[in-house]
Amino acid sequence: MLKQVHSSIPVPTGLWFIDAYADNSQDPMPHLAIYPPGLDPDSVVLVRVHSECLTGDLFSSLRCDCGSQLQKSLEYITKEKGVLIYLRQEGRGIGLINKLKAYNLQDEGFNTIDANHQLGFETDEREYQAATLILKDLGIKRIKLLTNNPEKVNSLIRDGIEIVDRIPLMIEPTVDSEDYLRIKRDLMGHLLD
């Protein structure tokens, strides 16, 4: 996986840089690194590794906490000159169509894990090696990681990234997300209150 392009985008908080990473320049779904000017790779960098969630990130779905986590992360990253790594692994790695099928099963009473299993998938199909490659390409070796997911922490450490601190990313549950967050905490080991 290589950096295919480095560009910039104006956002409400100012100008940000955006780098697209893929195996080839024709990949329609590259992973992204997004960061404001002033990123210092030699410092301990605040990092959010965020897996794509179209329904939460774009449409503010209340089924999950993804969109709120993304927005809160961008606020922190703006203040601390950190980086957001946006991984294109929708629906815990099962893709948008299967994620929507899982939503239908959840509407029938399955929890988020059992719905994935009914569709023939593991509880969580995501991988984080791409995030490690992006961090290394940016020259970042030591980070403060915005996450509640211990598997993300373990994966980055295993791949040679030093995590100086883990910053919790707590989002107030809604009526629609309460069971989902409880399942993440109780059955997936996410570090939630």
CB 161, CB 183: distance < 8 Å: no
Q: Could you tell me which residues come within 8 angstroms of residue 157 by beta carbon, excluding any fewer than 6 positions away? A: 163
Question: Catalytic: 124?
Answer: yes
Distances (CA, A) of 151 to 5, 52, 125, 135, 168: 29, 17, 11, 17, 14
Q: Which of 27, 48, 124, 186 is catalytic?
A: 124
CB 85, CB 156: distance < 8 Å: no
Whole-angstrom distance, CA of residue 190 vs CA of residue 183 = 9
Q: Which of 12, 32, 7, 13 is nearest to 22 (CA)?
A: 32
Residue 70 identity (one-letter amino acid): L
Question: Catalytic: 126?
Answer: yes
Q: Which of 42, 48, 126, 185 is catalytic?
A: 126
Q: What positions carry a catalytic annotation?
A: 124, 126
